[in-house]
Amino acid sequence: MPQNKDFFQKVYAVVRQVPLGKVSTYGAVAAYLGSKQSARMVGWAMNLSHTQFPPVPAHRIVNGKGLLTGKRHFASPDLMQQLLEAEGIGVKHDCVENFEAFFWDPAKHLSPVYNNTGSMED
């Protein structure tokens, strides 16, 4: 099975499953998909997220330190923080306050292994 392409789709899927008012990390999603070392690919997926549809809430994805590293890739550098604050997440100096409290781990809330929710392959 072509995991390479599914990886991106899975990333988008997981990110979309992130509850509102919560945040996740690249490593968490990557690890959830089975390869925490592919965290960079998650970032790449986010980079292309603007080309994907439906849109991916990339603003809920921050780095392992809760830092809004990707804010500069949004339409506006402050857009990411704005969205997070709009969801009730305190952001200061591009850092998520109480990040661990808002941290949403897919491996803890979603299935141990991402079963294609739609089973579209079959």
Partner DNA sequence: ACGTTGACCTATA
Partner DNA sequence: GTATAGGCCAACG
Alpha-carbon distance of 77 to 53, in angstroms, equals 22
Structure token pair of residue 67: 């830092």
Instruction: Write the CB contacts of 99 (distance below 8 Å, at least 6 apart in sequence).
Output: 23, 62, 65, 66
What is the CB neighbour count within 10 angstroms for residue 56?
Answer: 22
State the nearest-atom distance from the C-beta of 25 to DNA, in Å: 4
Nearest to 115 by CA among 5, 1, 10: 10
* End-to-end Cα spacing for the chain: 12
Q: How far is the CB of 105 from DNA (least distance, A)?
A: 12
C-beta closer to DNA: residue 13 or 30 = 30
CB of 41 to DNA, least distance (A): 5
Positions touching DNA (CB under 7 A) are 4, 25-27, 30, 35-44, 46-50, 58-59, 61, 63-65, 69-70, 72-74, 80
* Residue 3 beta carbon to DNA: minimum distance, rounded to whole angstroms: 8
Q: Are 101 and 21 in contact (CB under 8 A)?
A: no
Please identify, using beta-carbon distances, which residue of 44 and 110 lies nearer to DNA. 44
Q: Give the nearer residue to DNA in terms of CB position, either 79 or 88.
A: 79
Q: Which CB, 34 or 88, lies closer to DNA?
A: 34
